Each structure stands twice: as C-alpha cells, then as structure tokens.
Amino acid sequence: MERKNYSALGDPVGPYVHAVKHNGFLFLSGLTAFGSPAQKGSVAEQAEAIFSQIASIARAEQVSLEAIAKVTIFVTSFDDIAALRETLFRIYGAALPASSLVRVAGLFSSDLRIEVEAVLAIS
C-alpha cells in the first residue's frame, strides 16, 4: 500500500492521509469544502468544491473523474437533495459510480453540509 498526500489539498488536519493506493484503486479520505469559499455555501456549492478536489487528485493520478468507482456521500440534511442530485448528474456525466447517501447529525464544522469519500480505479 502507498499512503499519499496531495500538495494541492494542503496538509491533512488530523491523523490521516488524503488517499491510500492499493491494487489499482485509490481510496480517498472524506473530503469537505472546509477552508474553501464554498464552506458557508449550499450543499450543491460544497459538492462542487469537493469534486474539484477529487478532480485534482484524479489529474495527479493521470485519470479523470470517470475513474470514480464508488462514492459515499454524507449530508446533514435531505432538504436540498434535488439540487445535490442535479449537481452530481452534471459532474458524473455518463460515468455514474456506485453510491451511498447517508444523513448524519453533523460534520466537524457547523458550516459543512456534505462530506464525500471516493474510490477511484487507477493503474
């Protein structure tokens, strides 16, 4: 296994790495919009910021967002689910991943509405 951090994301704020590479897969830690202009934004705006981070990781691994095999999405509310789904359909295009959506009581900052874990298929 190879444990990896990506300079574009800054240093992790806890006892984890951004990703672990193993057997052709890249397992991403949960990503949020924390520290970005979207931190206080809508769930759709935060999702955009998160998938921008995932896209930067994908580029560093020489793949695209089409390499996303699985996502687990944690949201604090289902109130904006239609906007989130619309955003995700646009981001994924025809390359829909396997997905789980879980409502949680909260994330580590009260501004955060969404956290995304992802698994990418890479070489």
pLDDT for res 67? 98
Q: 52 and 2 in contact (C-beta within 8 Å)?
A: no
pLDDT digits (tens, 9 = 90+) for 38-67: 999 999 999 999 999 999 999 999 999 999
**How many structural domains is the chain composed of?**
1
Q: What DSSP element (H or E) covers 21? A: strand 19-22
Q: Is the pLDDT assigned to residue 68 strictly greater than 90?
A: yes
Burial (0-12, 13-18, 19+ Cβ within 10 Å), 9: middle
Tell me which residue range forms the domain holding 116.
24-121
Give pTM, 2 decimals: 0.96
Q: Residue 19: inside a domain, yes or no?
A: no
User: What average pLDDT does the structure give for the chain?
Assistant: 97
Q: Is the pLDDT assigned to residue 7 strictly greater than 90?
A: yes
Q: Is the pLDDT assigned to residue 36 strictly greater than 90?
A: yes
Q: Residue 7: inside a domain, yes or no?
A: no
- Domain harbouring 69, CATH code: 3.30.1330.40
Q: Residue 6: inside a domain, yes or no?
A: no
Residues in the chain, total: 123
Q: Residue 74: inside a domain, yes or no?
A: yes
Sorting pLDDT into bands at 50, 70 and 90, what band is 12?
very high
pLDDT for res 48? 98
Strands 68-75 and 114-121: antiparallel
pLDDT digits (tens, 9 = 90+) for 77-101: 999 999 999 999 999 999 999 999 9
Q: Is the pLDDT assigned to residue 13 strictly greater than 90?
A: no
Which residue is associated with the tokens 């052709």?
Answer: 24
Sorting pLDDT into bands at 50, 70 and 90, what band is 123?
confident
